[in-house]
Structure 1
Amino acid sequence: MQNQQQSIQGILSIAALVCLAIGWFNLFSPEINHLLSRKVFYVLIGASFFIQAPLLINKNFVYAMYSAAAICVIGAFLPESSGLSSLKTIGLLAGIILSLTNRRR
């Protein structure tokens, strides 16, 4: 079960990076690039964090990872004109920090 969760989490992370790369290299129309790099990317990263949360070594950080996942997904759907759209970046950074500090040695 744990290996399957890690595989799914890895696939989601790679798909998110592909979305980000598409946006950087402007492979499609501006609207599609924006959707993939500013919306779908954060939804996929949030889903990846959600799957990763129960696998964390330090169980004290599980709910923090769930929160980071939720912030990424919610932030992706907020209008960019609102000041709250930066929440998705905060969720991303929090999830990365939690992920890096809870790796098996």
Structure 2
Amino acid sequence: MNNQQQSLQGILSIAALICLAVGWFNLFTPEINHLLSRKVFYILIGASFFIQAPMLTNKNFVYGMYAAAGICVIGAFLPESSNLAWVKTLGLLAGIILSLSNRNR
């Protein structure tokens, strides 16, 4: 199961990066670019963090990774005009930091 989880997590991460690149390079209409790079990207990253959480070797980071995943997904659904729209970026940064902190040295 662990190998399948890693594969799924990798696929989600690559799909998220593709969504981000599409938005940066304006490959579609402005509405589609915005949806992919500002909404779908964070949903996919949140899903990737959620799948990665139980695989963390430092069990102290598991709940933090779940929180980062939830913040990314919830933040993706907040309107851009909201004062809380920045929380999705906070979730992304927290997930990246937790993921990098978990790496073997």
TM tier, smaller: over 0.9
Structure-2 separation of matches of 1:30 and 1:100: 33
Structure-2 separation of matches of 1:83 and 1:100: 29
Counterpart of 2:84 in 1: which secondary structure? helix
- CA shift, 1:104, in A, is 2.8
Is structure 2 residue 69 aligned with structure 1 residue 69? yes
- CA shift, 1:9, in A, is 0.2
Q: Which residue of 1 aligns with 2:36?
A: 36
Identical amino acids, percent of aligned pairs: 83
**Runs (5+) with no aligned partner, structure 2:** none
Q: Which residue of 2 aligns with 1:26?
A: 26
Q: CA RMSD in A?
A: 0.5
Q: Deviations over 1:23-43 (max 9, x none)?
A: 000000000000000000000
Structure-1 separation of matches of 2:18 and 2:69: 19
In the alignment of these two chains, the number of paired residues is 105
What is the TM-score normalised by the length of structure 1? 0.99
Q: Deviations over 1:58-80 (max 9, x none)?
A: 00110000000000000000001
Structure-2 separation of matches of 1:60 and 1:79: 32
Q: Which residue of 2 aligns with 1:98?
A: 98
Higher helix share: 1
What is the TM-score normalised by the length of structure 2? 0.99
Contact 1:57 1:104 in 2 (8 A): no
